[in-house]
Amino acid sequence: MKRAIRIKDRHMWVFFVSPGVLLLILVLGFPAITSLSYSIKPEQAGPVSYTLSNYMNLLKDPFFSRTFWNTGIFVFLSVASHMVLGLAVAMVLNTALPAKPLFRLIALLPWVVPDVVAGIIWKWMYNPIYGAINDFLLRIGLINTPVEWLSNPALALFSVILVNLWRGFPFVMLILLAGLQAIPRHLYEAAGIDGASRVQSFFHITIPGLRKMIVVALALDIVWEVRRFGLIQAMTQGGPGVLTEVLSTYTYKQYFQFFRFEYASAIAVVMTVVLLLVSLPYIWMISQEE
């Protein structure tokens, strides 16, 4: 041990945490504050410098409530389907399976396509007249008339979610797979000897063992899906009507298409606050001592 200044071990956290904190403050802090301050500026230059009028307008905005609702459905269904499919595939990949590396690779493939590109490609595949999907379904006789995936009001949002599932489940699968690998085999063996069924093992060993990973995956996925933008923008631009408009596309529109910087900032503030509230339980859980 060197005879240098001995920093008490319990203060060492500073060295570990500060690089990250500094980076976040320097790079994101200033833009965040600048932008958020826009939300309390009036839209038309006038006598007042600060106003809550943007937030008032939000409450009166007929599109905003619909957008909020769509975002809720989109996020809920996307995250839920990611978790279910991701867990199912991870579990299958955790068993004895021939050619496992190959299947793992296939399950990861959708993830390597950027979401904007995925949106462009799937939109083309969804085309009623010359899209690959309708063509395939017609050829194998599953449908008789072309399905209007992105125009039919009943289908539009779900068609987008289907693409989001394709694109997003590998991430959850990967996290859960890593978590599954960490559950010691002997726990299952012991349970098997004790006469536990597969279902019981699942609920009493697998799920508890994965708890931390599930929380991490859930928290991340929820935040990411609320922010999902390129995919939806490329596929529908929020249409038809406002059926697939979500908070992120709505903010983008207000900012870059209508040049309503102040209003867009207010929407962003609302988004941020909602996200914070939603993730509070996770922050709590993840910061518990093990």
Interface positions, 48-67, toward other proteins (CB under 8 A): 62-63
Q: Which is nearer to other proteins, 1 or 49 (by Cβ)?
A: 1
- Is the separation of the CB atoms in 208 and 196 below 8 Å? no
Out of 143, 182, 190, 207, name the contact with other proteins by CB under 8 A.
182
Reading the block at residue 201, the tokens are: 């093992």
| H or E element at residue 162 | helix 156-181
Residue 27 binds other proteins, judged by CB under 8 A: yes
What is the SS3 assignment for 119? helix
Q: Mask 129-148, x = binds other proteins (CB under 8 A)?
A: xxxx--xx--------xx-x
Q: Cβ 49 to other proteins, closest distance in Å?
A: 18
**Cα–Cα distance between 208 and 215 in angstroms, integer?**
11
Nearer to other proteins, 76 or 97 (CB): 97
List binders of other proteins among 66-95 (CB under 8 A). Answer: 85, 88-89, 92, 95
What is the rounded distance in angstroms from the CA atom of residue 241 to the CA atom of residue 151? 10
Cα–Cα distance, 123 to 220 (Å, whole number): 26
The residues, any chain, with a CB within 8 Å of residue 219's CB and separated by 6 or more, are 279, 282, 283, 286
Stretch that binds other proteins, among 69-77, 114-122, 188-196 (CB under 8 A): 114-122
Written as six digits, the tokens of 150 are 């992105």
CB 177 → other proteins: shortest distance, Å?
Answer: 8
Options 80, 116, 137, 196; binder of other proteins; rule CB under 8 A:
116
158 forms part of the interface with other proteins (CB under 8 A): no
